[in-house]
Amino acid sequence: MFGILNLTEDSFFDESRRLDPAGAVTAAIEMLRVGSDVVDVGPAASHPDARPVSPADEIRRIAPLLDALSDQMHRVSIDSFQPETQRYALKRGVGYLNDIQGFPDPALYPDIAEADCRLVVMHSAQRDGIATRTGHLRPEDALDEIVRFFEARVSALRRSGVAADRLILDPGMGFFLSPAPETSLHVLSNLQKLKSALGLPLLVSVSRKSFLGATVGLPVKDLGPASLAAELHAIGNGADYVRTHAPGDLRSAITFSETLAKFRSRDARDRGLDHA
């Protein structure tokens, strides 16, 4: 589980924003306490209305947090597509790099190959920059396009010396696929097909995304329940990792679901013995 921590002024979900260093450290520690395996730190927003942030400012935002979490670096992910920020994070020894552009720059590959962190390689219809409202990937084209993208990108990374077991694939959701909710719903409904086609771990990031709001008719601040439902669906249908604004809620839901599954299994076994 990746808990989302935004060191920004303009992330689309304002409750995830933590600009002051002390508040960011407190939030990160709390995320790890309540169930996050990884804290995914975003020094710049990536929604369609996000303001650009320079690599220098990204580094300035993440440096105090990395200092404070120096003994937990294997549980820290840096969410940035800026090569300068990524190189800084590699030097600091973070456990994960998360790139919404899917690591498009081959000039970065030697640095990545020399490191041992894992890579979250995301697909987006835009291919470059942040999400936009103009990337219209049709539902019927989405799965094939996502598979083609990952086949090419994984091949390029592998040729550069990046081991396959370091790669985690994120198909993208919301505006990264299309402003139309049907595209995200189609991809979310077909995670098993994607996983079978790609043969690598999948990360799904649906928390409070636009397609949820369009589907249930609610604003971002009220999308907690829809997010949780979508996340549990993803986990039950092939997702190996989930990126969420509410790691505590999701951890509790997972614990309950797993406990219930054990009871169902035990009850089924007992019924079988009764009829033996």
Decide: 181 and 216 in contact? Cβ < 8 Å.
no
**Average pLDDT, rounded, for the chain:** 91
Domain ranges of the chain: 2-248
Number of H helices, E strands in the chain: 10, 8
Compute φ and ψ for 4, nearest 5 degrees.
-90, 125
DSSP reduced 3-state for 94: coil
Q: Strand 241-244 relative to strand 2-6: parallel, antiparallel, unpaired? A: parallel
Q: Find the length of the chain.
A: 276
Single pTM value for the model? 0.90
Q: What DSSP character marks residue 251? A: H
What's residue 107's pLDDT? 97
Specify the CATH number of the domain 2-248: 3.20.20.20
Strands annotated E in the chain: 2-6, 38-42, 76-79, 96-99, 118-122, 167-170, 203-204, 241-244
Mind listing the pLDDT tens digit for each residue in 192-241?
Answer: 999 999 999 999 999 999 999 999 999 999 999 999 999 999 999 999 99
**What is the predicted pLDDT for the residue at 13?**
44
Q: Which residues on neighbouring strands pair with residue 78, listed in sequence order?
A: 41, 97
Give 144-195 pLDDT, tens digit per residue. 999 999 999 999 999 999 999 999 999 999 988 999 999 999 999 999 999 9
Sequence-ordered list of residues with C-beta below 8 angstroms from that of 172, at least 6 positions apart, any chain: 100, 122, 123, 124, 125, 146, 187
What is the gyration radius of the CA atoms in the chain, in angstroms?
19
Q: How far apart are CA 247 and CA 259, in angstroms?
A: 18
Answer yes or no: are the C-beta atoms of 102 and 162 closer than 8 Å.
Answer: no
Q: What is the pLDDT of residues 105-149, one digit of tens each?
A: 999 999 999 999 999 999 998 766 655 566 678 999 999 999 999
Share of the chain above pLDDT 90, in %: 79
Model pLDDT, residue 266: 77
